[in-house]
Each structure stands twice: as structure tokens, then as C-alpha cells.
Amino acid sequence: AQTVTQSQPEMSVQEAETVTLSCTYDTSESDYYLFWYKQPPSRQMILVIRQEAYKQQNATENRFSVNFQKAAKSFSLKISDSQLGDAAMYFCARGRSNFGNEKLTFGTGTRLTIIP
Amino acid sequence: GAGVSQSPSNKVTEKGKDVELRCDPISGHTALYWYRQSLGQGLEFLIYFQGNSAPDKSGLPSDRFSAERTGGSVSTLTIQRTQQEDSAVYLCASSSKTGLYGYTFGSGTRLTVV
């Protein structure tokens, strides 16, 4: 089975500091999509950032950026200037690119705590 | 609607009973997905509906699980003869065309089988 691995069950960071969450994945495809989702206590999953594998440039969304290493099959999320509202579970996910089969494979998540 | 709506928010049921979980996707979204999130686990794909195409049921864990989507909108996930291992949060998501631009998730139904 093609898997997504998040090796850090829990992480913590001081408010206003920077934290990096790790994700590695397994795939035999050359074209695919990668996502980071945030799940606060409300349970609703929120899309944080998206990366297309054929693009070499790392995606950025305000304080959130990724380090995409295709050869290493690594997709880490960097959160800059951490805020209390960033506290949540973060899930990495991979999607296939062939139209008509868009189910995502998720990692087991990293719980991020922000220390005031 | 403005978002993906799931009901009930929480459900406690006795082992062996049937349950129905409802998902109302964003209006106009053609794709609808069900995932299961067990404690300490990631999200496990269950089933995917896209327009009028036959659903992808490859993630349903047993024949006790079924889902339908009526009129291309509301979806119901049914679990028959519930077991304790069915206890989990069931998340529904929808997307406008393909999920590769990111889903919009509902807040889930927490199912507890006692």
C-alpha cells in the first residue's frame, strides 16, 4: 500500500517562533498532489496548503510554506511566527493525479501545541 | 449551503443497531467523499461519489457499510449491525470538480458504539 508517514505525533513551539512538521510518502507515480490539512478541536479539516508534484517551486500561503523534496519523497510544512490559533492536529495527504480517482491518503497526524 | 453539513454531530448507539449518518454537501459540488477517523489514526477513505458515475466503494471495510447519494446532493452512510470497532469520527467532504484542489470538509459525526 502506498503510505503517508508523519513521524512526529506531537510538536510544540513558542508563540512567534517557527516550527517544521515532517511528512514522507510513498508513491510509484511521477505526477501527484500533496496537501497539508489542519484539524482544530471543532473537528473540521481545513486546507492549509497544496503542492503539485510537477512544480518545482515550493508552495507558500502567508505564514505557511512547504519544503518539497521530490526525490526524497518529503513534504514538510513550515509555520512561521506561530500563533495561538495554529494549535491543532496537522495532517499530510497525497492524492493521485488521474482524473476520476481523487481519494486522498492521509498520514496519522501531528498534534501541534503553541506555548504562550 | 455555505458549508458541508453533517448530522448528527454525535451519535451513541448500542452494539448491533443500525445507524444512518447524513451529509449535505456544498451546493453545486459534484464530488462527495466519506472518510473515517479512528482515535489516534489518520483518515481512512471509505467511498467517493462523482456526479452520475458509479461510486468508488473500494474503502468500505465490510458489507455492513453502505452509502448512497440521492439526486447528486445529500448522502447517507449506513452502518448495519454496528460493532464497537465502528466507533470513530465519520467525516464527509465535497469538492467542485476533483478533490485535487482540496476538499471542503464537514465537522463530522462522532459515532460511539456501546
pLDDT of A51-75, one tens digit each?
988 888 999 999 999 999 999 999 9
Cα gap A43→A45, rounded to integer Å: 6
> Chain A closest CA to B99's CA: distance in Å?
5
Q: Which residues in A lie closer than 8 A to residue B32 (C-beta atoms)?
A: none
Q: Do A101 and B100 touch (CB under 8 A)?
A: no
Give me the pLDDT at residue A88, please.
97
Set of chain A residues whose Cβ sits within 8 Å of the Cβ of B45: 103-105
How distant, in Å, are the alpha carbons of A61, A88, B90, B104 from that of A8?
Answer: 22, 14, 24, 25
- Distance, CA of B47 to CA of A52 (rounded, Å): 24
**Local confidence pLDDT in tens for the 116 residues of chain A:** 679 999 999 999 999 999 999 999 998 888 888 999 999 988 889 999 999 888 889 999 999 999 999 999 999 999 999 999 999 999 999 987 655 557 889 999 999 999 99
Contacts made by residues A45-48, CB under 8 angstroms, sequence distance 24+: A45/A91, A45/B43, A45/B91, A45/B93, A45/B103, A45/B105, A46/B105, A47/B102, A47/B103, A48/A77, A48/A90
Residues of B in contact with A103 (CB under 8 A): 33, 45, 48, 56, 59, 99
CA distances (Å), B1 to each of A81, B25, B74, in order?
34, 7, 11
Closest CB to A43 among B44, B95, B108:
B108
